[in-house]
Amino acid sequence: MVSIGAGVKEPGSTRQNKTGSWRTFKPTLDKETCIKCVNCYMFCPEGCINKDYDIDYDFCKGCGICEVECPVKAIKMERE
Amino acid sequence: MVTKVMSANQAIAEAVKLANPEVIPVYPITPQTTISEYLAKYVADGDLDSEYIMVESEHSAISASLGASGTGVRVFTATSSQGLALMHEISFAAAGLRLPVVMADANRALSAPLSIWNDQQDSISERDAGWIQIYAEDGQEALDSILMAYRISEDKNVLLPSMVCIDGFILTHTVDPVNIPAKEDVNKFLPKYKPDHAYLDTKKPMSIGTFTDPSYYMDARYDMELAMERSQEIIAKAHTEFSEIFGRDYDFVEKYRSEDADVIIVAMGSICSTIKDVVDELRDAGEKVGLVRVRVFRPFPKTQIYEALKGASKIGVIDKNVCFSIGGVLATEIRSNTGLDVSGFIVGLGGRDIKPSDIKEIMEKTKNPTKQTQWIGLKKEEH
Amino acid sequence: MELPNKEFLAPGHRGCAGCGATIGVRLALKVLGENTVAISATGCVEVITTPYPETSWEIPWMHVAFENASAVASGVEAALKAQGKTDTNVVVFGGDGGTADIGLQSLSGAMEREHNLIYICYDNEAYMNTGIQRSGATPYGASTTTSPHGKESFGENKPKKNMPMIMAAHGVPYVATASISYPEDLMKKVKKAAEIEGPAYIHLQQPCTTGWGYNPAQTIELGRLAVETGSWILYEIEEGEFKVTYKPIQRRMVKEYLDAQKRFKHLTDIEKEKIQSHVDAICTELKI
């Protein structure tokens, strides 16, 4: 059963698709070192780092942008 | 309720004024242009409260129509010929997104060679797009059909766009007395469009125009097929209620002196007026001939057509279009959907005049068929 | 700028790891907020965000086809006006192909008609969704699948179409370029675009890991290199007034930017020099 015109009335429903399974390298964020510069939050293509600097591993694809953009090297990518 | 003498284009504009769509995106093309002009004037004079957008192409006219309809309001657009062909891609999207856009098409030949004159190749070529198609015989029917088109398209059991087709110049630029219904009556017939399947509302966000993989697409198309089938019932209901409120009767097919006829001619659009004259003349001379006019072409009223034709011994079908190497589309579809043996006639392409004598020739050839498809009205010395 | 914590583009979308386009869409939507309707042209963003029966969009969203996003948006804007919702933002996201090539006519029409909408071209400089074919926005020297380098070719042999200036020539009240690597600059521009009465056009460069050929982790770094080398200039044109919004302290060599990407790997030093001189000429004129 397809909705009329294949419209979707559940906003944000791609959240059902946990893209974390795509990941090869996993970022870990050291909150002690973190200076809360918002770089990782701003530059995440998934929007899966929040302003409390928690990473949502359900969706993190492991692209590594956050590690590169962290000015104090608080984020490390490690093979899972 | 007033009666005024006007062209079918003006009649359509009057219908649009009564239906009061919130958004009207249009682009001029002969012979549709005066519809756009009348509507612009109504808006300029404050007689019609619509957002009128004079876009930069027919492609954008239909695209803006989808945008507005997707937002959740009633829309109208109009086009012809090349313009309709340019809309082709988005015509499929309109039906697929289940947006009840209503459009008038001033039937005109498709290029090349370039022609601004009438035939029905343009809309016939859109027959697979998923639109309801109605072919009007005169200005009154054009007006009435626009009102009915909104009623049918916006019905929750249908939600498919509608195209009301009128023959270019023959109807668009000639005048007839047309009865303009009262606004209160139209409001009774046509409730406000309140969609719950497609809207762009920040209070309840939805996504329209998604990407389907093979596990969904086919079912979505099948739903359109079901909607098209269901539309038969909704159209019948619209005809009944229209008759009750406005006193004018319409059906999927019009039977003109065909009940006891031996020879029946089938056609669509304004040519039927000429055929009716010929039928009267031949009836006076004692011949049992009649006309069946197909008014609703999509959904294809196969049962109604079969019932109207089954008693005749000879059937001739007139097409103002051609599907090369096959013949006329109406003839082909009647053959394949009713199993009846019909002779096909291609006439009037690119505005070639169709005289009563041509209709008589078609009657004769229908009685004594030699070929499945014949072209009538070609210059004799050349063929 | 105070930004809402809410993400208006949900995760779980099918964008490549390191996708630059989704960064741009996320940031733009954070500025525009929930009273916004988005329209997409067919392309990467459209395909990756709405795999039926799911959608990433938290705001109303519509897509019809490739070349008509601006026309669809025109109809949406008119309908919202008819509904009395004149405070709702209408934003269009079109890729460089959907903007500079196939969608140029409908964009031109919408801008000329002064619809109150924000058009954001997310420019990854080729048709990435169909597999890296050249577009009018592909830069000189780039190798794509339809402008490949070879014995007789150094890749794309024409300069990038200057979309922002085409928009400026329409008299669009607000035109700007932006980069996802300069989020404050980008977001300020989106805010201005939303506040301005009438149409606005933002040409947003966004590196594409797949099409440009670099490690996904380098997406922001590549965007930064483009700007720091003068290969992509951040400016705005407000009511006809041109202003560079970011000047690198010390312009870096274009070679650095080119060498970081597979699409330029084949270029000879002579070609790289040619590109450098072209960049120098523009930057000198703009005092960058």
Which residue of A13, A37, A38 to mutate against C (max C Cβ within 10 Å)? A13
Query: Which residue is associated with the tokens 């053959």?
Result: B335
Mark whether B174 and B206 lie in a shared domain: yes
| Residue of B163, B3, B140 lying closest to B76 (CA atoms) | B163
Assign residue C192 the CATH number of its domain: 3.40.50.970
Whether C140 is in a domain gets the answer yes
Give the residue ranges of DSSP H helices in chain B.
8-19, 33-44, 58-71, 81-96, 121-124, 139-153, 183-189, 217-246, 271-284, 302-309, 329-338, 356-367
Whether C8 is in a domain gets the answer no
Query: Cα–Cα distances in Å, from B41 out to B29, B50, B54, B180?
Result: 17, 11, 13, 18
CB pairs under 8 A between B and C: 162
Residue C57: list chain B partners with CB under 8 A: 205, 207
CB atoms within 10 A of CB B174: 15
Over residues A57-73, the mean pLDDT reads 98
C-alpha B208/C-alpha B203 separation (Å) is 15
For residues A79 and A67, the answer to whether their CB atoms sit within 8 Å is no
For residues C107 and C119, the answer to whether their CB atoms sit within 8 Å is yes
Whether C15 is in a domain gets the answer no
pLDDT of residue B152: 98
Over residues C54-82, the mean pLDDT reads 98
Give the closest of B57, B202, B209 to C62, CB-based: B209
C-alpha C83/C-alpha C61 separation (Å) is 17
C-alpha C105/C-alpha C102 separation (Å) is 7
Over residues A50-58, the mean pLDDT reads 97
What are the residues facing B103 on neighbouring strands? B77, B163
| Residue of B266, B268, B296, B295 lying closest to B279 (CA atoms) | B266
Residue B205: list chain C partners with CB under 8 A: 57-61
For residues C102 and C182, the answer to whether their CB atoms sit within 8 Å is no
Residues with Cβ within 8 Å of residue B9, at least 6 apart in sequence: B31, B32, B34, B35, B38, B106, B166, B171, B172, B173
Over residues A56-64, the mean pLDDT reads 98
Residue B215: list chain C partners with CB under 8 A: none
Q: Which CATH number fits domain A32-80: 1.10.357.10, 3.30.70.20, 3.40.50.2300, 2.40.160.100?
A: 3.30.70.20
Distance of CA B162 to the CA centre of its chain: 8
Mark whether B180 and B266 lie in a shared domain: no
Give the residue ranges of DSSP H helices in chain C.
20-32, 44-49, 69-82, 96, 104-112, 163-169, 183-195, 219-228, 254-259, 269-285
Supply the pTM of this predicted model.
0.97
pLDDT of residue B381: 58
Domain boundary among B225, B246, B267: B246
C-alpha B209/C-alpha B311 separation (Å) is 47
Percent of the residues in chain C that have a pLDDT greater than 70, as a whole number = 100
Over residues A47-63, the mean pLDDT reads 97
Give domain limits for chain A: 32-80
Give the closest of B65, B67, B90 to C73, CB-based: B67
User: Mind telling me how many Å the CA of B212 is from chain A's nearest CA?
Assistant: 8
Domain that holds residue B147: 2-246
Check pLDDT > 60 for residue C47: yes
Mark whether B263 and B328 lie in a shared domain: yes
Whether C6 is in a domain gets the answer no
Question: CB of A34 within 8 Å of any CB in chain C?
Answer: no
Domain that holds residue C120: 20-285
Mark whether B197 and B345 lie in a shared domain: no
Residue C217: list chain A partners with CB under 8 A: 63-65, 67-68, 77
For residues B134 and B149, the answer to whether their CB atoms sit within 8 Å is yes
Interchain proximity A11–C49, CB inside 8 Å: no
pLDDT digits (tens, 9 = 90+) for C222-236: 999 999 999 999 999
Check pLDDT > 80 for residue A69: yes
DSSP C15: P
Angle at B282 between CA B278 and CA B283, to 5 degrees: 115
Cα torsion B169, B172, B177, B180 to 10°: value is 170
Give the closest of A8, A10, A47 to C26, CB-based: A47
Question: CB of A21 within 8 Å of any CB in chain B?
Answer: no
Give the residue ranges of DSSP H helices in B97-182.
121-124, 139-153
pLDDT of residue B383: 52
C-alpha B21/C-alpha C138 separation (Å) is 42
Query: Which residue is associated with the tokens 């389907």?
Result: B212
Query: Cα–Cα distances in Å, from B183 out to B190, B353, C286?
Result: 10, 38, 62
Interchain proximity B99–A7, CB inside 8 Å: no
| Residue of C98, C91, C100 lying closest to C120 (CA atoms) | C91
> Parallel, antiparallel, or unpaired for β B263-267 and B314-319?
parallel
Question: CB of A37 within 8 Å of any CB in chain C?
Answer: no
Residue B125 identity = S
The nearest alpha carbon in chain C to B87 belongs to C68
What are the residues facing C152 on neighbouring strands? none
Residue C65: list chain B partners with CB under 8 A: 63, 89-90, 93
Mark whether B153 and B222 lie in a shared domain: yes
Check pLDDT > 80 for residue A77: yes
Chain mean pLDDT for chain C:
97
Give the closest of B25, B72, B205 to C57, CB-based: B205
Confidence label for A1 from pLDDT (cuts 50, 70 and 90): confident
DSSP B166: E
Mark whether B59 and B171 lie in a shared domain: yes
pLDDT of residue B314: 98
Question: CB of A18 within 8 Å of any CB in chain C?
Answer: yes
Mark whether B204 and B292 lie in a shared domain: no
Residue A10: list chain C partners with CB under 8 A: 53-55
C-alpha C156/C-alpha C137 separation (Å) is 10
Residue C64: list chain B partners with CB under 8 A: 63, 66-67, 70, 90, 93, 97, 209
Interchain proximity C79–B55, CB inside 8 Å: no
Which residue of C179, C219, C221 to mutate against A (max A Cβ within 10 Å)? C219
Question: CB of C89 within 8 Å of any CB in chain B?
Answer: no
Over residues C246-263, the mean pLDDT reads 98
Mark whether B282 and B372 lie in a shared domain: yes
C-alpha B6/C-alpha B74 separation (Å) is 25
Whether C4 is in a domain gets the answer no
pLDDT of residue C43: 98
Residue C218: list chain A partners with CB under 8 A: 68
Assign residue B361 the CATH number of its domain: 3.40.50.920
The nearest alpha carbon in chain B to A7 belongs to B208
C-alpha C110/C-alpha C71 separation (Å) is 6
Spell out the per-residue pLDDT of chain B, length 383, in tens: 799 999 999 999 999 999 999 999 999 999 999 999 999 999 999 999 999 999 999 999 999 999 999 999 999 999 999 999 999 999 999 999 999 999 999 999 999 999 999 999 999 999 999 999 999 999 999 999 999 999 999 999 999 999 999 999 999 999 999 999 999 999 999 999 999 999 999 999 999 999 999 999 999 999 999 999 999 999 999 999 999 999 999 999 999 999 999 999 999 999 999 999 999 999 999 999 999 999 999 999 999 999 999 999 999 999 999 999 999 999 999 999 999 999 999 999 999 999 999 999 999 999 999 999 999 999 975 55
